[in-house]
Structure 1
Amino acid sequence: MPEEVYKDEDYVAAAVQACYAEGKRYGVPVAVETNALFYNTDKIKELPATWEELLEVAKEQGGIQFEASSIYYDLGFLRAYDSYIFKYEDGNYDVEDIGLGKEEAIKAYTFINQLASDYQFITSDITSDTAKSNFQNGVTAFYIGGPWDIDGLNSAGTPFAVAPMPQLNGKNFVTPVGTQVGFVSSKSDSQDIVWEFYQYLMENSAQDLYAAGGRIPAQLAAQEAIEKDEATESFITQISYGEPLPTASEMGQVWTPFADNMKLMFNGQVTPEQAAEYIETQVAEGIDMMNSGK
C-alpha cells in the first residue's frame, strides 16, 4: 500500500502491527477493541491495582469469572511472565519458536490455575456466556469482557463500570487487540481512489463511527477527539497495553490444544508443568501437519 496513506506512529501500535505480514504493510487500521475489567459497582467500591489484590477482594465479594481456558483471555498472564505464543521480531512471527511450553509459561499457568484450585472461581466448563450471565445476575463481582457486552448489561440493569485490567507481576496486563482493517484488492483498478477514501474516513468519520456502533478509532488523535464515556476511556487505556494475537495462519493450531489442556489442568488431571509440555507438543505437531502438504 502507498506509504503516504498514513504514518504508523499516528495509530495504536497494536493496530499497526495487525496490518503487517512478513514485514510488509497491507491495510489501514480503522477501529480497535479489546477486553477490560467489568466490576459490580454495588459490590466494589475501591478498585484493586493488582491481580493479587483482585483475587482477595473477589474472594469476599463473589469472585471473578471469564473463559480462562481460552488463549484469548489468557494472553495477559503469559505476557506478564515474559512468555508468548510465537516469537515476534522485526515484523515477523517465528512459528517454530513456540513460547507456550517454556518455564515462563509454566509460571503463567500456575497463576491461572489458582483461580480454580485455590479460589474455586473457575471451572473447566465456564464459557464467556456463562461468565457474563453470572456477572449480569449479580453472582460474581468481576468479569472480563469487551465493548460488545455493554448494551446487554445496561438492558439487564446490572450496576457496573469498566476499568483497565490490574497489573500482574509488576507489569501492565496485556489483552488481545482486535483491529478492523481496511484493505484494497491487489486486482482492483481503483486502488488510488480507495486509499484516498480510507484517508478521508480516518480524518472525518471517527465520531460518526463511534456514535453509530461504538467503534473506537485506531487513530490516536481521533481517540482524543471523540466525545466518549468513562467505559470507552477505560477501553482506550487498556488498548494501549495490548497487542494483536499472532496473524500467522499457524495460530489456528493453538486454540484447541491450549483450551483442552487448560481444562484438564482446572480439573486437576494435569499439572501446570504437564499442561505446558502437552500444549507446546500438540501445537508443534499441528503446525507440522498443517505445513506438510505445502
Structure 2
Amino acid sequence: MLSYTRVTKWTCTGLVVAVLAACAAVNTTSSGTVGVDRKQWMSGLVSETELNQAAQQNYTQVLSQARSQGALDKDAAQTNRVKNIANRLIRHVDVFRPDARAWNWEVHVISSNELNAWCMPGGKMAVYSGLIKQLNLTDAELAAIIGHEMAHALREHSREQVSQQMATSVGLSVLSAVLGQPGVQDLGGRLSEVMFTLPNSRQHETEADLIGVELAARAGYDPRAAITLWEKMAAVEKGQQQPEFMSTHPSSTSRINELRTITERVMPLYQAAPKA
C-alpha cells in the first residue's frame, strides 16, 4: 500500500506538471522600433477572451458608479481632449499588434482628485481629472500617460500576472502539503512577492514606457514630454504620499534616465509624423 505522503507528493507533482504544461511562451506584440521582444509565459487556463469579458464587466461597474456620483465625463472639453489624444494613439497600435485595431477601445474621464489612469484588457481606459489638473498636463504629456496605459493592454500584462499567480498558488500549495509546515504559506507569499510581483511589475512598467513613447511619437506628440511628465511626478512625490499612479512604478530618477535614452531612439518617428 502506498503511504499517504507518497500519494500526496505524486498528486501535487501532477498538479504542478499540469499547470506548467498549460503555460506557453508567447509574443503578445511585435518589438517595434523600441525593441520590446521579451517572451511572456501565459497560462492556457486564462484566455484572452475570458479576461477581456471580465474587464468589460468591471469597466461597466466602474463607469456606472462614477455616473451615479456625477463624476463621469463631467467636463465635456476635458473629455473630448482625452478622447482625441487616445484616438490618435490608437491609430498606431497595429505597429505592435494588428488585431488591436479591431478592439473596442473606450476611454472616459472620471472626476477625482486621484493622480491615476489605467487601461484594462481589451482597451478599456480611464483618466482621472486630478492627474490632468494637478500636474497641468500638456497634450504631449497626456499622450505619454495614455500611451503607457495602452501598452499594458497591448502586452497583456494583466493576463501574464494572473498566469503567474495561478502557477505560484499551485506551487505554494504543493510545498505546504509536502513539507507539512504551517508557516510555509506565509514565507512562500513573501518569497513570491520578491521573486515575481516586484520584478515583473518593474519590467512591465519599463515595457509600457517603451511602447507608450513610441505610440506617442508616431501620433505626432513630442516623446520628450514623457521626461517632463515624470519630473512633475517626482516633484509631487517629494514629501508626500506616493500617488496611486506611481505605486508599483520604478523610482522617478531611474525612470527619467531611461526615458532620455528611449526618446532619442524614437525622435525620428516624431519628426516624420504629422502634427495634427
Name the one with the larger helix percent. Answer: 2
Q: Which has the larger radius of gyration?
A: 2
Name the one with the larger strand percent. Answer: 1
> Per chain length, whose mean CA-contact separation is higher, i.e. which structure has more relative contact order (CA < 8 Å, sep 6+)?
1
Please give the range of the TM-score, normalised by the shorter of the 2 chains. under 0.3
User: TM-score, normalized by length of structure 1?
Assistant: 0.25
